[in-house]
Amino acid sequence: MKFFIDTANLAQIKEAHDLGILDGVTTNPSLMAKEGIKGEEAVMQHYLTICELVDGDVSAEVLSTTVDEIIEEGKKLAAIHPNIVVKVPMIKDGVKALKWFSDNGIKTNCTLVFSAGQAILAAKAGANYVSPFIGRVDDSNWDGVELIKQIAQIYKIQGYKTEILSASIRNPLHIVKCAEAGSDVITSPLEPILGLLKHPLTDIGLAKFLDDAKKMRHELATAK
């Protein structure tokens, strides 16, 4: 399973990259706004900076909602860097644009997916990635991980090549459950990724090992 970081924050992208486990980055207009990135030129430059930091797919979301405009905007985004993946919303014109991008060799990520039916449409339209938002599904009193399982099963039966990119991750257990459910990729903020490191028995065990080794070094030094 690939690990993408879900942020436009350069320091956090760098921190995840330095861990050596980062395969890509996803952003969305809200994440860009959170970093205060304003205006087309600044947005384009920010995507380029991210692409230069991480050698992997970088999702850049269109703001347009009509097919011709999505295609024009997507072409501009794709021209920024070969690793740009055009992120397209799951709406009727988005599906038409996904098909156009697929026919014209531009990589896509179909976003704002909340049902298996939407995931089937995204795959039929040739999206490279489909992004079910599992945290938001959980928030609406449904089960986000169950949705990933269902999509994974359908894609396997049907032989769809679209990769399942589990998004809207809120905690480390979401990441583990997505791996178990057959997700191809997760995109997560930094905290849940770092949360995977944590176990109290690791800390207790390491403290004991270091303490025992220190005692041995001390015994050796005092025996001389």
Catalytic residue among 38, 87, 149, 177: 87
Interface with ligand E4P: number of residues (CB under 6 A):
11
Q: How far apart are CA 57 and CA 18, in angstroms?
A: 17
173 vs 213 by CB, closer to ligand E4P? 173
A 10 A CB-CB count for 71 gives: 21
133 vs 155 by CB, closer to ligand E4P? 133
133 makes contact with ligand E4P (CB under 6 A): yes
* CB-neighbour burial class of residue 99 (10 A; exposed 0-12, middle 13-18, buried 19+): middle
**Nearest Cα residue to 70 out of 120, 9, 115, 111:** 111
87 is catalytic: yes
135 makes contact with ligand E4P (CB under 6 A): yes
Residues 9-68 that bind ligand E4P (CB under 6 A): 26, 28
Closest separation in Å from C-beta 136 to ligand E4P: 5
**Nearest Cα residue to 62 out of 94, 38, 107, 33:** 94
24 vs 126 by CB, closer to ligand E4P? 24
183 makes contact with ligand E4P (CB under 6 A): no
Beta bridge partners, 20, equal none
Q: How far apart are CA 172 and CA 90, in angstroms?
A: 27
A 10 A CB-CB count for 113 gives: 26
Active-site residue numbers? 87
List residues binding ligand E4P (CB under 6 A).
6, 26, 28, 111, 131, 133, 135-136, 167-168, 187
